[in-house]
Amino acid sequence: MKLTKIIKKFRIDKPDKFRLSDCDPQDTCGLDIEKADAKAMLASGVERLTELQEKLYAQNRWAVLVVFQAMDAAGKDGAIKHVMSGVDPQGVQVHAFKQPSHEERDHDFLWRVAKALPERGRIGIFNRSHYEDVLVARVHPEFVTNAQIPPSLVDKDIWKHRFQSIRDFERHLARNGVLILKFFLHVSKEEQRKRFLARLEEPGKRWKFEMGDVAERKLWNKYMDAYEDAIRHTSRPEAPWYVVPADNKPFARLVISEVIVEAMESLKLEFPKVEGAALKELEKVKRALAAEGAKRRKAT
């Protein structure tokens, strides 16, 4: 199966019919990801992304926002590291969202996200995002009731209202030149168990493990319901969700890379053209520098 068809398979274009149970975390679309050609495809994607990022930065018209959401140990950090390995650090802004601070709780739930949006010409990466407020907050209702929100607004329609706010927010960004791509790295509960064990067994990875991870694991089904509902209500043409099978890390990285590259290629990015008077001035400078070099060679 060609990569173009593969990424279309994981894009949620019909959210009203979306069911997370229909998505297999182990799916690799028949691609033998261990073969050299698969690794070459990822390397090619990284190279293409590097070229596109240079044009994005130079043109300074579009911004790209890449959102990653997932359960613990699904591979968000590794995906960001590998997919963005060849991109100029000056052109990428990575923001990891933790629990809201006191200042952040004193504002609406989108405030801290709006502050971290990428500038034009840059790729912004959200490691977790505004979706935490319809995922973690939904699984843990106390996070909402303990926030500084008027009690009268914390009613049965709060999630419907938050989904509407997110859709409006993302539509506003899209209308202002922000390309939005959202990835849910869909890892199975069994694969998460194996990765947790690997962290505990390897001294160099134990720091990644938190006791709270075990408690959250017990709420797996509630999280899956929350993810399904969030994706159903917020996957739209201007800000689509991609549900990427994440049990096989190299495959997930390949899909993510191809999605970003294909989406950025659709922007028709180009290096700015220097024409007219500006070009004439550059030609003058070029001749002057060449003459200076010739003069130095004669002097030696």
Give the C-alpha separation, 100 to 96, whole Å.
11
Q: In sequence order, which residues have a C-beta less than 8 Å from that of residue 33 and are 6 or more positions away?
A: 248, 250, 251, 254
**Whole-number Cα distances in Å, 137 to 32, 111, 146, 210:** 38, 16, 11, 19
Q: In sequence order, which residues have a C-beta less than 8 Å from that of residue 67 and are 6 or more positions away?
A: 126, 129, 131, 180, 181, 182, 183
Lowest pLDDT segment from 30-39, 81-90, 152-161? 30-39
How high is the pLDDT of residue 148? 81
How high is the pLDDT of residue 1? 59
**Whole-number Cα distances in Å, 10 to 3, 95, 129, 237, 245:** 11, 25, 20, 14, 8
Give the C-alpha separation, 136 to 143, whole Å.
8
Q: Of 129, 123, 125, 138, which is closest to residue 62 (Cα–Cα)?
A: 123
Question: How sure is the predictor about 36, in pLDDT bands with cuts at 50, 70 and 90?
Answer: low
Second CATH level (architecture) for the domain 3-269: 3-Layer(aba) Sandwich (3.40)
Q: What sign has the CA pseudo-torsion 223, 224, 229, 231?
A: positive
How high is the pLDDT of residue 296? 80
Q: Judge whether residue 279 has pLDDT over 90.
A: no
Residue pair 53/85 in contact by the 8 Å Cβ criterion? no
Tens-digit pLDDT profile for residues 223-242: 999 999 999 999 999 999 99
How high is the pLDDT of residue 35? 64
Cα angle for residues 234, 246, 199 (degrees, 5° grid) = 120
How high is the pLDDT of residue 147? 78
Residue 242 pairs in a beta bridge with 11, 183
What is the C-alpha radius of gyration for the chain, rounded to an integer number of angstroms?
A: 23
How high is the pLDDT of residue 97? 94
Question: How sure is the predictor about 276, in pLDDT bands with cuts at 50, 70 and 90?
Answer: confident
Catalogue the E-assigned strands of 172-277. 178-186, 241-245
Q: In sequence order, which residues have a C-beta less than 8 Å from that of residue 37 and are 6 or more positions away?
A: none
Mean pLDDT over 161-180 rounds to: 98
Where is pLDDT greater, at 33 or 149?
149
Q: Judge whether residue 92 has pLDDT over 70.
A: yes
Question: 170 phi and psi, to 5 degrees?
Answer: -70, -35
Question: How sure is the predictor about 4, in pLDDT bands with cuts at 50, 70 and 90?
Answer: confident
Lowest pLDDT segment from 128-132, 147-151, 152-156? 147-151
How high is the pLDDT of residue 275? 82
Domain ranges for the chain, please list them: 3-269, 275-300
Lowest pLDDT segment from 122-136, 138-152, 168-182? 138-152
Residue pair 222/1 in contact by the 8 Å Cβ criterion? no
